[in-house]
Structure 1
């Protein structure tokens, strides 16, 4: 595990800084998303410090690269609290990293706002935990409900489902919710397999799915897996009626560009998109700063899928600290539970379990994606929202095997 901490204060001020600690996946499987979140938190820090800091003190970020490895996380949070003496906590990012951090955070009675982890608190029931994933107390089922409701609305209605998922916390959790939704809608699961996270050759996995000949193929995968699965599906000629799922690699612009037209007609879950219905106060200003910082770096050039949540987590924490006039974790947690927050990711409030009070996941479909063109993903036109109706911006192409432009 890397032993280097990054610690930066933008404006030198006479008072001691308020230290905010977290781990972040800056290398490894989910690093494309982790680097987006870090950049957005740095922008939030700079904005807070430019406005005078928190409680009249500068904000300092103290963070370590967990290398997308869950085993690294407990030691990082132990060090943040016992050695670095951070005042506040955020994160970690992702379900796989958040779950092993929770016992350490709970033992210290600290408050944290996790960055895009799903279903973690159903295991811990910790009242100082909050999640930035917009799935609500509905839980993991909210992560795939739209996918199966879209499927059930098609004519003729598909009847069978094949599911594949990585054998790791996030993917297993997403797959569990998908099974619930499929069964509720009367869809029969005829193939259900997991694969080791170290898998690099997905051709055998996809051939087995093809042999099952299901109407729908639902995938719960990480960024490297997503690339392998989509490429293998193209190579073996997989042609179900509907194909997609919780493929978080496809939330990162570089991977969208890398796969190009191979993504066409895939239907995926997203938590944040570039659309008129998602244009919340302060969002465009934050994204402009993000895009300026992203130039010349090996990170997502647009930051749509993740950056708003990192910045919003900072906004929520800052509001709670300001209104409670201190750094008492109990008071901060109670304030977050009791109030609504206006953020660049929209209005957010939390239920008793620390999840959003109202769900806001959407399902989009890749349509008419062209090769080697990063700019086509800037405005969301290549991924219209199909579900829910409240946010809908386009019409579904069905079946998946329909002619791709």
Structure 2
């Protein structure tokens, strides 16, 4: 299905969303009765708090929107959430309380693999439908049939995640022959590094450095020096926000150069890190989920971002909203549609709907396989280009986060070399 057909196929839902963003009055009957309570944990403190707060704001925007449109099943919705402090050990207790004490009607996940996986046993035990946000393979062990995951990595992350990075590298002349791989010793990063090894082997690219560092690492100079000694053509990092900043700082201080550098770094997507690094990001080729390029201008996305940004600063959330927020809003759209199609709060019926048909959302049309992953992976690789200083406004414009992969969303061409000349 081409992208224009996809846009038309979810036009009705997108039109309703855009109308609510624009402030048009809904013709729906006002919601009434006891609210439908949606429970979840979310990182409002700790290392993942930036993404947690921005995702929460997007979920709250959805809550306001659906209540303005008459609610869910004719009833208002209420979000019930607790701070998991970016600590997976807190998650099982929170979901047990939500389900056994608070008696919530529906559940969604926290942000990220490390905070989704600990919830799964509780969810499965209670038989709840479960829509997660930016997890990676969290349902592989359980094979739970009532789950869906809002994440572009797809079912074969260990193979596909780094594919875009190496596909982009094919544009280099001469072709790259060596790669260095380094990343955080955590589930997401280890999967990303495994994918990098797989893709390098498929292309006959030699891995000249390969290391996972512990979460306690604060000095990344030894890693960068070792990579520098190996003189790789490509450098693939798989990191979380704190270590992404540390790695890029060490790269700059030690003057590491490569034909292409970046990879599966989580961090440059975040507003605060964009502001911190500014022009130092130029020529970084990095995994992402969305970029404000014309090729990803899905129906409803711009309207959502305008609405989100209008309240983000006052709420203490990241002001650009280009990473977790669009996916978090889509998470709620999928929940809304699954419940509406089921016509009730029956968890088995909702779970079945998650796999029956596609879902139009502000990030495109989504379809989930039997494990709840996207049928078609959509790992986006962008290159930061032409950044001047640290002004955040430039990141709202096309041409700064140029999409190089996948081909159907490509919006520019690779600028070789890191750092930028």
d(CA) in 2 for partners of 1:100 and 1:46?
Answer: 29
Larger relative contact order (Cα-Cα within 8 Å, sequence gap ≥ 6): 2
- Name the stretch that deviates more: 129-138 or 251-260: 129-138
1:366 maps to 384
Work out whether residues 43 and 49 of structure 2, in 8 Å CA contact, stay in contact via their aligned partners in 1.
yes
Q: 1:304 aligns with which of 311, 314, 322?
A: 322
> For 1:230-309, what aligned pairs fall within 5 Å after superposition?
230-309=248-327
Q: 2:78 aligns with which of 60, 68, 84?
A: 60
2:162 maps to 144
Cα shift at 1:14: 5.1
Work out whether residues 290 and 323 of structure 2, in 8 Å CA contact, stay in contact via their aligned partners in 1.
yes
1:87 maps to 105
Work out whether residues 261 and 284 of structure 2, in 8 Å CA contact, stay in contact via their aligned partners in 1.
yes
Secondary structure, in 3 states, of the residue corresponding to 2:316? Answer: coil
2:173 maps to 155
d(CA) in 1 for partners of 2:252 and 2:329?
Answer: 37
d(CA) in 1 for partners of 2:209 and 2:275?
Answer: 30
Q: 1:197 aligns with which of 210, 215, 229?
A: 215
Q: TM-score, normalised by structure 2?
A: 0.90
Work out whether residues 253 and 377 of structure 1, in 8 Å CA contact, stay in contact via their aligned partners in 2.
no
d(CA) in 2 for partners of 1:177 and 1:127?
Answer: 26
1:224 maps to 242
Work out whether residues 272 and 306 of structure 1, in 8 Å CA contact, stay in contact via their aligned partners in 2.
no
Work out whether residues 118 and 140 of structure 1, in 8 Å CA contact, stay in contact via their aligned partners in 2.
no
Cα shift at 1:186: 1.3
Work out whether residues 157 and 191 of structure 2, in 8 Å CA contact, stay in contact via their aligned partners in 1.
no
How many residue pairs were aligned? 392
- Unpaired runs of 5+ residues, structure 2, are 1-29
> For 1:2-401, what aligned pairs fall within 5 Å after superposition?
15-401=33-419
Cα shift at 1:138: 3.3
d(CA) in 2 for partners of 1:264 and 1:130?
Answer: 35
- Name the stretch that deviates more: 35-44 or 379-388: 379-388
Q: TM-score, normalised by structure 1?
A: 0.93
d(CA) in 2 for partners of 1:141 and 1:233?
Answer: 27
Cα shift at 1:297: 4.1
- Unpaired runs of 5+ residues, structure 1, are 1-11
Work out whether residues 179 and 207 of structure 2, in 8 Å CA contact, stay in contact via their aligned partners in 1.
yes
Work out whether residues 152 and 185 of structure 1, in 8 Å CA contact, stay in contact via their aligned partners in 2.
no
Cα shift at 1:353: 1.6
2:7 maps to none
